[in-house]
Chains A and B, each alone.
Chain A
Amino acid sequence: MPFENLSERIQFSLRKLTGRGKVNEKDIEDAMREIRVSLLEADVNYKIVKEFINEVKTLALGEKVMKSLTPGDQVVKIVYEELVKLMGDEAVPLNLKKAGISIVLVVGLQGSGKTTHVGKLANYLRKNNKLKPLMIAADIYRPAAINQLLTIGKQLDIEVFQMGILTKPQVIVKKGIDYAKEKGYNLVLIDTAGRLAIDEPLMQELVEIKQIINPDEILLTVDAMTGQDAVNVAQTFHEKLNITGCLLTKLDSDTRGGAALSIRYLTHIPIKFVGLGEKMDEIDVFHPDRMAKRILGMGDVLTFIEKAQESFDEETALKMAEKMQAGRFTYNDFLDQIHRIKKMGSLKGLLAMIPGIGSQIKNLNIDEKKFVYIEAIIGSMTKEERQNPDLISKSHARKTRIANGSGRSYQEINNLTKQFEQMRQQMKAVMGLDESQMEKLSKGQAPMPGMMVQRPKKGKGKNKGGFRF
């Protein structure tokens, strides 16, 4: 198949439309056919695909297009707007209490990622909402499920309440919440056993748990790779429990993730979080508008900016920019940058969020180990050398020593020092540019990936703006 994902496919089918003076009915029919196949291949429910195609077609053929100067752009806009509508217009936050204990119940099919995401969510809410979480292990059926949560708890340093596998989950959750109150926790996350939506006794167990604890949120974990059945599953859980939100897991796979659209559209349950990996910090708030942009190949710029902001505080960024401008960028600064980039997650993951790059890096194998090597090399430099890079570039003896110390080849040391020197020169040049020159440059190449710092404005420190790419 020529297209690996929905965004490429739609981009391609619409490429035919953009840049043309007029769009006739046949053009639209052709584009719609491709969008239909594309959406079905993305696992969007077939009923929704039908409705979506009809809606877009009607809108595209209507007078809106006729009035528009560039009909192609108009169709792109309609498809985008409809996609956003399909996924719900805005990001929906969690319902958490301002005071007292907030209770989050996590439910779902077997293997959808409940236990892992109870951990991720606890970690996320502790960090971002400054809450004190307790996790309750209420999966008494799957062998070693409790151990799994205990291990995660240990890893995150978050307490896990458990009573083994001989006590009924209804009792465990009740006791767990009493325990949370007693110990002053203000957030409780409950891990439950995976179950089929049609398993009556186990669904009844959840209904009873809900009655006993009256949770603020009941989150359904849904595997992003789920096919057409996603809607049935969500609907059945929803009927029994009144699900308040979805947690879309394994979105770091190469799935097209149409299940997200289907669930939102047919059940109106908002997707609240997405899981993006096996590490405990790989979770993010779901933004429907951004997802739609991503589908259309506009990239997930906003997520990228947020991540960047988290890792680069403005003060540091300013200092860094000044150093760059003065050509005083040292190996210590470089090392610092690498640490920040690593903190933001995998480089590939970050690049995928940048518009225009996402589809190109799919087959690119970025060796994240390169960072480790660079760190090792810099680690083998003396304090003096790190502050004064010129010392190394001119000395064969120093390079040999660093190569031996870091276990990397002489050639690698040579390459790094050369690249570092070029980078410094470029930075100096870039930082000296004015706005219009900057504009031109931004269309070309950035001096170095990950250099998303703002240039210092006149009157340092004041008027701090957003981040610049």
Chain B
Amino acid sequence: MGLFDLFKKKNKDEKSKKYELGMKKTRQGLMGKLKSILAGHSEINEDLFDDLTDAFIMADIGVETTLNFIDALKEDPRVEGINSVEELQPIIIDKMFELYLKGEIVNNNFNINKNGLSVFLFVGVNGVGKTTTIAKIAYRLKNEGKKILLAAGDTFRAGAVDQLEIWAERVGVDIVIKKGATDPSSVIYDAIAKAKKENYDILLCDTAGRLQNKVNLMKELEKMNRVISREVEGAPQETLLIIDATTGQNGLSQAEAFMEVANITGVILTKLDGTSKGGIVLAIRDKYKLPIKMVGLGEKMEDLEYFDLEDYIGGLFIGDDE
């Protein structure tokens, strides 16, 4: 697979539909909210900018990011040159693309080692959907012909190992479990040994949910990371931060803290099939440059899509106006 292919039209309609269906707020469709704000104003003034600010805030796009964005919008030379409010929409969308892309070509494909084992580590706070996401990714990569191994590294939460074990069975991939283990690093160590010996392509490591302000748990994560990079050269190829779409401003603190202890390579945004817009990942991208790699849109193992900026931005301003 190539680079992040923003304007690729292949399967586009079908995928947009999935986002739309997933986000289930389709009365006014993608961009509905933005359209209705613009339609409600006859001239470009502070009032309009205030309403736009509210719409951004409502989508959980960070306060700082929002305020900077609106300020930049006001001063954009293109805005001065327009006659009607409607002409503002393409400029806003354009600027949002800029906000995300930042002049880079964003690669949201996984970094996979072509000649040997790749290790992916999944991290995040409690309850964001790490285990389910691992199952979904295992399913996807398996279908791409990869030999997948899972490591049940959440040795803390009751039932977590069983949960991943059930998923492994459903997806049809192997799993390393160490009954009674309390040190996740030792589980990962064992899994790496097995993966090397039996020529697996990709090892997916589950970890316990940890709040980013718990120093000891963050140190534990640092250790896991150390073990992985010591045992496999260039690993972990991916360390993915899972963010729940319902998360508010705390998402920024999560990104910052996890980046301190691990080399986070990207974000996976989960539960975007609810009413939450997940705008905080835009702020995370804006502030910490982390790309969003995938989006979770349901509870089934197929409900995971590569991140599509156009669909995502459309979803931020979907319907539900009052």
Interface residues of chain A, those whose CB is within 8 Å of chain B, are: 1, 37, 40-43, 46, 109-113, 115, 141-152, 155, 196-198, 223, 225-230, 232-233, 236, 250, 252-256, 258-259, 278, 365
Known pairs A253-B250, A255-B250; A233 contacts B158 (CB<8 A):
no
Known pairs A278-B156, A365-B215; A227 contacts B248 (CB<8 A):
yes
B273 (CB) vs chain A CBs: closest residue: A196
Known pairs A144-B166, A196-B274; A229 contacts B159 (CB<8 A):
no
Partner of A148, one of B158, B215, B244: B158
Nearest Cβ in chain B — how far from A426, in angstroms?
30
Cβ–Cβ contact B158 & A228, under 8 A: no
A256 (CB) vs chain B CBs: closest residue: B249
Cβ–Cβ contact B213 & A253, under 8 A: yes
Cβ–Cβ contact B247 & A111, under 8 A: no
Partner of B275, one of A113, A233, A278: A233
Give Cα A254–Cα B60 distance, bound, in whole angstroms: 17
Nearest Cβ in chain B — how far from A120, in angstroms?
12
Count A/B pairs, Cβ under 8 Å. Answer: 143
Nearest Cβ in chain B — how far from A198, in angstroms?
5
Report chain A residues within 8 Å CB of B35.
Answer: none
Residues B51-102 near A (CB distance < 8 A): 54, 57-60, 63-64, 67
Tell me whether B119 is interfacial, beta carbon within 8 Å.
no
B159 (CB) vs chain A CBs: closest residue: A148
Report chain B residues within 8 Å CB of A233.
Answer: 246, 274-275
Give Cα A254–Cα B64 distance, bound, in whole angstroms: 18
Cβ–Cβ contact B274 & A229, under 8 A: yes
A197 (CB) vs chain B CBs: closest residue: B275
B58 (CB) vs chain A CBs: closest residue: A228
Report chain A residues within 8 Å CB of B162.
Answer: 143-144, 147-148
B57, B59, B159, B271: residue with the most chain A Cβ atoms closer than 10 Å: B159
Nearest Cβ in chain B — how far from A137, in angstroms?
11
Report chain A residues within 8 Å CB of B211.
Answer: 250, 252-254
Cβ–Cβ contact A250 & B126, under 8 A: yes
Known pairs A37-B63, A141-B299, A255-B250; A111 contacts B126 (CB<8 A):
yes
Cβ–Cβ contact A250 & B125, under 8 A: yes
Tell me whether B136 is interfacial, beta carbon within 8 Å.
no
Q: Could you mark each residue 162-174 of chain B with 1 if its beta carbon is under 8 Å from any beta carbon of chain A, else 0? A: 1101110010000
Report chain A residues within 8 Å CB of B276.
Answer: 227, 229
Cβ–Cβ contact A41 & B275, under 8 A: no
Cβ–Cβ contact A227 & B163, under 8 A: no
Tell me whether B277 is interfacial, beta carbon within 8 Å.
yes
Report chain A residues within 8 Å CB of B126.
Answer: 111, 113, 250, 278
Known pairs A41-B63, A143-B166; A223 contacts B159 (CB<8 A):
no
Task: List 8 tightest A-B contacts by C-beta distance, closest first.
Answer: A227-B248, A148-B159, A111-B127, A43-B248, A151-B158, A144-B162, A143-B166, A144-B163
Report chain A residues within 8 Å CB of B251.
Answer: 225, 227
Cβ–Cβ contact B159 & A147, under 8 A: yes
B320 (CB) vs chain A CBs: closest residue: A232
Give the B interface residue count (CB, 8 A): 46
B276 (CB) vs chain A CBs: closest residue: A229
A115, A252, A278: residue with the most chain B Cβ atoms closer than 10 Å: A278
Give Cα A229–Cα B273 distance, bound, in whole angstroms: 13
Tell me whether B108 is interfacial, beta carbon within 8 Å.
no
Report chain A residues within 8 Å CB of B128.
Answer: 111
Cβ–Cβ contact A225 & B247, under 8 A: yes
Give Cα A434–Cα B211 distance, bound, in whole angstroms: 45
A42 (CB) vs chain B CBs: closest residue: B249
Cβ–Cβ contact A110 & B248, under 8 A: no
Residues B240-267 near A (CB distance < 8 A): 244, 246-251, 253
Report chain A residues within 8 Å CB of B213.
Answer: 252-254
Partner of B248, one of A142, A258, A278, A365: A258
Give Cα A187–Cα B128 distance, bound, in whole angstroms: 30
Report chain A residues within 8 Å CB of B159.
Answer: 115, 144-151
With A41-B64, A227-B248, A253-B212 already in contact, 5 other A-B pairs whose C-beta atoms are closer than 8 Å: A37-B63, A40-B57, A43-B249, A227-B249, A255-B253
Report chain A residues within 8 Å CB of B54.
Answer: 46
Cβ–Cβ contact A110 & B280, under 8 A: no
A146 (CB) vs chain B CBs: closest residue: B159
Report chain A residues within 8 Å CB of B273.
Answer: 196
Report chain B residues within 8 Å CB of A111.
Answer: 126-129, 244, 271
Cβ–Cβ contact B274 & A225, under 8 A: no
Report chain A residues within 8 Å CB of B274.
Answer: 109, 196-198, 229, 233
Q: Could you mark each residue 88-132 of chain B with 1 if its beta carbon is under 8 Å from any beta carbon of chain A, else 0? A: 000000000000000000000000000000000000011111000
Nearest Cβ in chain A — how far from B60, in angstroms?
4
Report chain B residues within 8 Å CB of A143.
Answer: 162-163, 166-167, 170
A-B CB contact pairs (8 Å), 7 listed: A40-B63, A147-B163, A151-B158, A198-B24, A225-B250, A226-B248, A253-B211
Report chain B residues within 8 Å CB of A258.
Answer: 248
Known pairs A144-B163, A365-B215; A232 contacts B249 (CB<8 A):
no
A165 (CB) vs chain B CBs: closest residue: B166
Give Cα A250–Cα B271 distance, bound, in whole angstroms: 18
Known pairs A1-B64, A143-B162; A254 contacts B250 (CB<8 A):
yes
Tell me whether B157 is interfacial, beta carbon within 8 Å.
yes
A47 (CB) vs chain B CBs: closest residue: B54
B127 (CB) vs chain A CBs: closest residue: A111
Report chain B residues within 8 Å CB of A232.
Answer: 275
Partner of A223, one of B160, B215, B246: B246
Give Cα A236–Cα B274 distance, bound, in whole angstroms: 12
Report chain A residues within 8 Å CB of B277.
Answer: 228-229
Report chain B residues within 8 Å CB of A37.
Answer: 63, 67
Cβ–Cβ contact B158 & A113, under 8 A: no
A119 (CB) vs chain B CBs: closest residue: B158
Nearest Cβ in chain A — how far from B26, in angstroms?
11
Residues B295-314 near A (CB distance < 8 A): 299
Give Cα A233–Cα B248 distance, bound, in whole angstroms: 14
Report chain A residues within 8 Å CB of B215.
Answer: 365
Give Cα A228–Cα B316 distance, bound, in whole angstroms: 13
Partner of B246, one of A141, A146, A229, A254: A229
Nearest Cβ in chain A — how far from B150, in angstroms?
13
Give Cα A65–Cα B144 distance, bound, in whole angstroms: 69
A196 (CB) vs chain B CBs: closest residue: B274
B59, B249, B271, B280: residue with the most chain A Cβ atoms closer than 10 Å: B249
B56 (CB) vs chain A CBs: closest residue: A46
Cβ–Cβ contact A259 & B248, under 8 A: yes
Nearest Cβ in chain B — how far from A187, in angstroms?
21
Cβ–Cβ contact A109 & B158, under 8 A: no
Nearest Cβ in chain B — how far from A184, in angstroms?
27
Cβ–Cβ contact A110 & B127, under 8 A: yes
Report chain B residues within 8 Å CB of A151.
Answer: 158-159
Give Cα A223–Cα B212 distance, bound, in whole angstroms: 15
Known pairs A109-B246, A233-B246; A227 contacts B125 (CB<8 A):
no
Known pairs A110-B127, A143-B162; A256 contacts B250 (CB<8 A):
yes
Nearest Cβ in chain A — how far from B168, in angstroms?
10
Report chain A residues within 8 Å CB of B129.
Answer: 110-111
